[in-house]
């Protein structure tokens, strides 16, 4: 399976996340799909910045080989931290939306939001969608 490299796995993971984002109408599934896409991008970035012929900068004096550029890994670490914090904020917003509207479906929440000033029955919205 020489064709199955980390680059290809990253692209496959990205499109799995994209499909989940487009197909699913559940807010939690959207957050999970974005997380999968984020992981795929991180995997791709790590795979293009590293190689078997290079070693970590702290090991270069022992092995005398070329070193891997640590900037790429620092950017990935920063991306992970920012991604986790953004997902935490999004999950709090989804929890608040669920408490207010009683649904995690994007379409039903949009209908409830549009008809907020009118009498709106959530059971009727579930049947219509």
Give the residue numbers spanning the domain of 86.
Answer: 6-128
- Residue 34 in domain: yes
Q: How far apart are CA 65 and CA 30, in angstroms?
A: 43
Give a yes or no: residue 28 inside a domain.
yes
Residue 43 lies in a domain: yes
pLDDT by residue for the chain (129 residues), tens digit each?
687 888 899 999 999 999 999 998 899 999 999 999 999 999 998 888 777 777 777 666 666 677 777 788 888 899 999 999 999 999 999 999 899 888 899 888 888 888 775 655 656 655 555
CATH number, domain containing residue 60:
1.10.287.3510
pLDDT at 122: 58
Task: Say if 89 falls within a structural domain.
Answer: yes
> What is residue 60's predicted lDDT score, i.e. its pLDDT?
63
pLDDT at 123: 61
């Amino acid at each position: 399976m020489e064709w199955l490299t980390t680059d290809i796995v990253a692209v496959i993971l990205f499109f799995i996340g994209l499909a989940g984002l487009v197909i699913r109408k559940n807010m939690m599934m959207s957050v999970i799909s974005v997380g999968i896409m984020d992981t795929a991008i991180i995997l791709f970035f790590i795979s293009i910045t590293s190689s078997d012929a290079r070693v970590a900068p702290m090991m270069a004096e022992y092995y005398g080989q070329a070193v891997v550029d640590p900037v790429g890994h620092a950017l990935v670490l920063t991306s992970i931290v920012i991604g986790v914090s953004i997902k935490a904020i999004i999950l709090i917003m989804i929890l608040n939306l669920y408490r207010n509207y009683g649904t995690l479906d994007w379409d039903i929440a949009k209908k409830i939001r549009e008809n907020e000033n009118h009498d709106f029955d959530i059971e009727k919205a579930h049947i219509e969608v």
